[in-house]
Amino acid sequence: MITTDFAPGSPCWLDLGAPDVEVATAFYRAVYGWQSEPHGGRDAGGYTLFRLDGKAVGAVGPLTEDGARSAWTLFFHTPDADAAAQAVERAGGAVRVAPVRVGSDDGRFAQLTDPQGAEFAVWEPAGYPGFEAADAPGTLVWTELYTTDPAAAQTFYTSVLGWSTQDMPLPGGGGTYTLLTPAGCSEERMHGGLMGVPADLLGPGGKPYWHPVFASRDCDATVGLTTGNGGTLSMGPETVEGVGRLAVCNDPSGAEFVVLAPEGQL
């Protein structure tokens, strides 16, 4: 369960790097009904907040790194961005953007990469804790890592973010899925999972990646809005026992996200 009373290591923000912010904004407004506004109510280099019923649920901004492809970046809460960046380097990862302050008192973030190549970020809050709604239709409900080396990834994130982990077998002998929970929290605060995927199934370059899972009241209807507004469908919709009905989608610029209508709903 993803909440807004952020514990160290829990998801607390997400943003989309897009080649065309206006196109991306129009797409997610159509699919999820998100409202949009410039960060801080002003021009912030194209960085645009997404809101649902007035509550911040994420953001979109222009791609800023050379060679970057459009993708969602997941941010995890940390009390100390410098310490998190140092822990990443000690554990064999890389710091793409060293800790930097946002605004006068929003907080600090760092852009990071795990040893297998999956990109993520950490957020050290000051005046801005993170997203204001989660675990509800139209908001982040789960985070997921596809990686070429799940054992190494598990070791890395446990070391850096302190997560506790729990392995479970996938149906039909499809391997193992590792469930992720912030340090010191009960299983009710479980926020994501990781699974091994062969490099040739990971898309361009075979690079591991994180993607967000957004809740929906009706998975098939949301998929219809996705494809009807320039997005594409990669997998599903299909019903997974104990999870719900889900589909893997891409927005018009190729950024992947998952649509999930949870079993029993939220």
CB 23 within 8 A of CB 252: yes
Residues of the chain with CATH 3.10.180.10: 11-125, 140-262
- Give the 3-state secondary structure of residue 172: helix
pLDDT in tens, 32-71: 999 999 876 555 568 999 999 999 999 999 987 777 789 9
170 or 55: whose pLDDT is higher? 55
Peptide bond before residue 237 is cis, with ω within 30 degrees of 0: yes
- Give strand pairing partners of 215: 260
Which CATH superfamily hosts domain 140-262? 2,3-Dihydroxybiphenyl 1,2-Dioxygenase, domain 1 (3.10.180.10)
CATH number of 11-125: 3.10.180.10
pLDDT in tens, 90-114: 999 999 999 999 988 899 999 999 9
DSSP class of 23: H
Q: Give yes or no for residue 266 having a pLDDT over 90.
A: no
pLDDT in tens, 199-223: 988 877 889 999 999 999 999 999 9
How far is the C-alpha of 24 from the C-alpha of 29, rounded, in Å?
Answer: 9
